[in-house]
Amino acid sequence: MRLVIARCSVDYVGRLTAHLPMAPRLILMKADGSVSIHADDRAFKPLNWMNPPCTVRESVNDDGTAVWTVTHGKSGEKLVLSIEEVTHDSSHELGVDPGLQKDGVEAHLQELLAEHITTLGEGYSLIRREFPTAIGPVDILCRDGGGATVAVELKRRGDIDGVEQLTRYLELLNRDPALKPVSGVFAAQEIKPQARVLATDRGISCVTLDYDALRGIEPDTPRLF
């Protein structure tokens, strides 16, 4: 991971355009190929970002301003960073992350859904739980009734971060010719409206899970949207 603190402006060029004026910001370039720009007052959410795969090209304008151009490898969308001053620039090897340790309910949800995978649809079959990838394990990898690969991300409460996480998994899994095309299912006991909208926009299905029903206490089944 490369960590940069710099005074910079940022322009997004893609389906829409957006501009961040010159100000001190934190720039993170992670080993998975993602780039994100952060302010000091927005908690964990970046001001702008580019999901992998993307490339970074560094150049210098005629006036001496450094320009970092981040280009997405598939869409061609760009983040153009004009760097006025760099106050910190360091690289760090974090190694392989063991992944988030799920709490009891979330881990049990995964176990139950894997055991009753046809809850997602008739003809579904399990490939494996905790399917390993270079950026962490996918909760459940399965096949639908037509034999297509499906990646399932499980949460107790589903928010935008969970959809972003599943999006990263899907981008990676769809590079594997033995698996693609891979679709996604975002499953949780409760899914926030914003997360549902983002998932729908990205072609990801949402499933509301009833924990008691999966345990056989209630007859209701999750609803697939």
**pLDDT for the residue numbered 108:** 80
Task: Kindly state whether residue 74 falls inside one of the protein's structural domains.
Answer: yes
* Co-location of 128 and 63 in the same domain: no
* Co-location of 48 and 115 in the same domain: no
Last residue of a domain, one of 91, 126, 158: 91
**pLDDT for the residue numbered 5:** 96
Task: Kindly state whether residue 44 falls inside one of the protein's structural domains.
Answer: yes
* Structural domain that includes position 27: 2-91
Last residue of a domain, one of 26, 61, 91: 91
**pLDDT for the residue numbered 201:** 93
Rg (CA), the chain: 20
DSSP 8-state symbol, 126:
E
* Co-location of 148 and 217 in the same domain: yes
- Identify the residue whose tokens are 């392989």: 96
**pLDDT for the residue numbered 105:** 65
7 neighbors 65 (Cβ within 8 angstroms) = no
CA distance 225 to 141: 19
* Co-location of 47 and 113 in the same domain: no
* Co-location of 216 and 116 in the same domain: yes
**pLDDT for the residue numbered 3:** 95
* Co-location of 157 and 108 in the same domain: yes
**pLDDT for the residue numbered 99:** 60
Q: What is the CATH number of the domain that holds 6?
A: 2.70.180.20
DSSP 8-state symbol, 146:
T
Q: Output the CA torsion sign for 182, 183, 188, 191.
A: positive
**pLDDT for the residue numbered 220:** 45
CA distance 140 to 138: 6
pLDDT tens for the chain, 225 residues long, are: 899 999 999 999 887 788 999 999 999 999 888 999 999 887 678 899 888 889 999 999 988 899 999 999 888 999 999 999 999 999 988 877 666 555 556 778 888 888 889 888 889 999 999 999 888 899 999 999 999 999 999 998 899 999 999 999 999 999 999 999 999 999 988 999 999 999 999 999 999 888 777 777 654 444 444
Q: How far is CA 50 from CA 36, 78, 192, 210, in A?
A: 6, 8, 23, 34
**pLDDT for the residue numbered 153:** 94
Instruction: Tell me how far apart the 2 most distant CA atoms of the chain are, in Å.
Output: 70
Last residue of a domain, one of 34, 62, 91: 91
Q: Give this prediction's pTM.
A: 0.54
Q: What total of structural domains would you count in the chain?
A: 2
* Co-location of 186 and 155 in the same domain: yes
Q: Give the three-class secondary structure for 115.
A: helix
Percent composition of the chain: helix, strand, coil (DSSP 3-state, to 5): 20, 45, 35
Tally Cβ neighbours within 10 Å of residue 21. Answer: 7
Task: Kindly state whether residue 130 falls inside one of the protein's structural domains.
Answer: yes
